[in-house]
Amino acid sequence: MYKRQVIKGDIIDEFPFFSFLLGDLHPHVLAMPFAFLALGLALNLFFGGAQGKIPRLHIAINPATFLMSAVVLGGLAFLNIWDFPIYAAVIASAYALRKFYANGSWRIFFKDFIGMGIALGITSITFYFPFFLSFSSQAGGLLPNLIYITRGAYLWLMFAPLLLPVLVFLFLKWRRYGKRDMMIVGIKQTAAFVLGLLIVSLLLTAVIAFLPVLVKIRPEAEMVASAFLRSMVAPGWGALLSMSFVRRFTVPGTLLTLSVLLTLSLSLLHTHPETQQSSEHARISISDRFVILLMLIGTILVLSPEFVFLRDMFGYRINTIFKFYFQAWHLWSVAAAYAVYWLWGLSRNILRNTFRIAIMVVIGLGLIYPIFSIRSKTNNFSPSFWTLDGAYYLSQSTPDEAQAMTWLQRAPLGVVVEAVGGSYSNFARMATYSGQPTVLGWRFHEVQWRGGSQEIGSRQEDIEHLYCTSSWDQAYQILKQYNVRYLVIGNPERAAYVAGTQLCPNGLTEAKFVRNLDVAFSSGTVTIYLVE
C-alpha cells in the first residue's frame, strides 16, 4: 500500500496517477470517465451546442442534451455519490453563466442555476430510482473545521504543477483584459464567500456547543459535543475558538492562495463577452471563460474543507478532503492544460521563451513522482517475471496459502469462515482471492461501506468464539447460524486467536474440528475443513 498522505494530519488525498499506479478500483476512479463526460456536456452547453427549449421546465436546452446530462449525472451518483452534486453544479453553472452573458442579470443567473440543478437532480434520480430505493450514505450533515488548517506548503506540494500555470494564466488575462471595477467586485465576492464559510463554521460550532441544551440535556447529545471537543484537541469551547483564529492568522498560505484564485476567476467572469461588446476589455474568449469557470469551481472545492466538512463515520475531514481534492484535480488539470497551451503560444518572444522554460521546469517537477514511483513498482524496470495475475506473489511468499486459495476457487459455492482482523492486511484473504462469500472480512470497511454495524452484529465475536471454544456444540451452532461450508485454519488464524483474551483464554482449539469435521484440503500450514 502506497502512502497517500501528502497533506499532514488525519486525512488522505490522492491524485489520478497515484490511483492508477496503485490499481485502485474504488468508486472515485471508476467514475472518472463519467466525470469527464459531464465536463464535455457542460462545455457543449456553454458553447451553445444544445439549442432548444423544454417549456414545462422553463429551461432553454434541447431535450436530448438534458436527458443525456441526467443519465450521466445519475451514473455518477450510482458510481460515486460525492461526484453527483459537483458535476451537477458544473453543468448548471455552464448553463446559467451562458444565459447571464446574454441578459447580464445575476438574479436570473442564480434562478437559472438553481432551476437547472433541481431539474437535473430530480431527473437523474428518477432514471436510477431502483438503486436509490436501497441506497444509504454515511453523510450526516455538516461539521465545522476550526483548527485543522491546510498549510500553504502542503497545498502547493499537492497542486503546484496545476496552480502555477493557472495563476499565471489568470494574472496575464487580467493584465490584458481586466477592469479595476471588476477586480473590486471579485474581491468583494471572495471576501463575502470566505466570510460566509466562516460564519457557517461558527454557527455549526454554536449548535454543537448548545446541543445538550437544545435537546433537553439528553446524555447522547452531550456525548456528541464532548466527542467533537476531543477530536479538536481542545479543553473547552473558548480555547477552541481562540485556537481557530490564531491558526488561521498564523497559517495563511492556503487561504491566501485560494483567495487570489477566487478573486481573479470571479473578476474575469464578470467581464462582458466579446460577442456583446467591442471594447478592449471584452476579449476573453468563450473557451477562456469555460476554463475560468472550472478554475472557480475547483477553488471552491479546495477552499470549503478549510471551514466545513461532511460528517461521516470518521468524524473528521478525511473523506471530504479526499473526494473534493480529487475532483479539484480533475477540474484544475483541464484548466492547467489549457493554460499551458495558451502560455506556450504567447506572441512576445522574451515572454514566450521565459514561460516555455518555466512550463518545462514545472512539468519536469511534476513528473518526478511518476518516474520514481514506476521505477519502484517495476523493480527499476527489471521485473523478475511478467504477469497480470495480482495474486502471483502469494505463490512465492506463502505457497500453502496460494494453493488453498486455488482450491477454493474451484470448489462449490459456500460460505468461508476465517480470522477477522484489521484493514489493509492479509485477513479475509481466502474470500478475497477465491471469490467465495465470507462471514466477515475487514470489519472497519464493512462498517464504513454499510453505513453502520447493524448488519455485522456479533459476527466478529462469534467467529472468535468459534475458533477458541473447546465445546463442539457451541462451535457447531455458530457454523449453522452463518451457513458455513468451509472453515479455514492457517497462520493468520493462529496469530489472531492467541491465549489470554476474554473470548479466547486458551487460544485457538483445533481439536474439536479434527474430531468432528472432514478435511477438504490440507497443505503445510493451511487446513480447510468441510462443514456438512
Same domain? For 168 and 317 the reply is yes
Stated pTM of the model:
0.84
The reported pLDDT for the residue numbered 454 is: 80
107 inside domain: yes
Count of alpha carbons within 13 Å of 313, Cβ hemisphere only? 13
Same domain? For 332 and 405 the reply is no
Q: Which domain holds residue 175?
A: 1-15+139-340
What is the mean predicted confidence (pLDDT) over 3-22?
74
CA distances from 224 to 57, 206, 234 (A): 43, 13, 14
- Residue with the three cell numbers 470518521: 314
CA distances from 376 to 311, 383, 460 (A): 36, 10, 37
104: left (phi over 0), alpha (psi -120 to 50) or beta: left
39 inside domain: yes
Answer whether residue 291 shows pLDDT above 80.
yes
Number of domains in the chain: 3
Count of alpha carbons within 13 Å of 332, Cβ hemisphere only? 27
Range of lowest pLDDT (87-91, 330-334, 393-397)? 393-397
Same domain? For 39 and 126 the reply is yes
Q: Report which secondary-structure segment, H or E, holds 160.
A: helix 152-177
Same domain? For 278 and 404 the reply is no
Find the CATH number of the domain harbouring 447. Answer: 3.40.50
Same domain? For 523 and 422 the reply is yes
Hey, how many other C-beta atoms are within 10 angstroms of the C-beta on 332? 26
Which residues, other chains included, contact 163 with Cβ-Cβ below 8 Å and sequence gap of 6+? Answer: 155, 156, 257, 261, 332, 336
151 inside domain: yes
Question: How far is Cα 131 from Cα 78, in angstroms, rounded to an integer?
Answer: 7
Q: Report which secondary-structure segment, H or E, holds 523.
A: strand 518-523
Question: How far is Cα 311 from Cα 304, in angstroms, rounded to an integer?
Answer: 14
Altogether, the residues listed in the chain come to a count of 532
The reported pLDDT for the residue numbered 246 is: 82
Same domain? For 46 and 121 the reply is yes
The reported pLDDT for the residue numbered 432 is: 93
List of long-range contacts for 63-69, beta carbons under 8 Å, 24+ apart: 65/41, 66/119, 66/120, 66/123, 67/123, 68/41, 69/38, 69/41, 69/45, 69/120
Question: How far is Cα 366 from Cα 159, in angstroms, rounded to an integer?
Answer: 9
Burial of 141 (0-12, 13-18, 19+ CB in 10 A): exposed
Question: How far is Cα 101 from Cα 105, in angstroms, rounded to an integer?
Answer: 8
**pLDDT digit string (tens) for 477-514?**
999 999 999 999 999 999 999 887 777 888 899 999 99
What is the mean predicted confidence (pLDDT) over 408-425?
92
381 inside domain: no
Question: How far is Cα 233 from Cα 239, in angstroms, rounded to an integer?
Answer: 10
Same domain? For 193 and 83 the reply is no
Using the 8-state DSSP alphabet, how is residue 104 labeled? -
Same domain? For 77 and 188 the reply is no
Q: What are the phi and psi torsion angles at 340 (to 5°)?
A: -60, -45
Question: How far is Cα 45 from Cα 39, in angstroms, rounded to an integer?
Answer: 10
Would you tell me the crossing angle of helices 368-377 and 349-366 to the nearest 10 degrees?
A: 30
Among 137, 169, 186, the domain boundary falls at 137
Question: How far is Cα 154 from Cα 218, in angstroms, rounded to an integer?
Answer: 41
What is the mean predicted confidence (pLDDT) over 263-268?
94
CA distances from 261 to 127, 167, 385 (A): 37, 7, 48
Same domain? For 132 and 214 the reply is no
Answer whether residue 466 shows pLDDT above 90.
yes
Burial 85-98 (b: 16+ CB within 10 A, else e): ebbbbbbbbbbbbb
Same domain? For 133 and 281 the reply is no
364 inside domain: no
155 inside domain: yes
**pLDDT digit string (tens) for 350-374?**
777 888 888 899 889 889 999 999 9
174 inside domain: yes
The reported pLDDT for the residue numbered 122 is: 94
Task: At 231, list the grid cell.
Answer: 477530536
Q: Where are the alpha helices (DSSP H) in 451-531?
A: 459-468, 472-481, 491-496, 511-516
Among 340, 372, 405, the domain boundary falls at 340
The reported pLDDT for the residue numbered 228 is: 64
Range of lowest pLDDT (33-47, 219-233, 328-342)? 219-233
Of residues 175 and 451, more confidence is placed in 175
Answer whether residue 530 shows pLDDT above 70.
yes
Same domain? For 4 and 144 the reply is yes
The reported pLDDT for the residue numbered 181 is: 82
373 inside domain: no
Same domain? For 85 and 189 the reply is no
Amino acid at site 148: Y
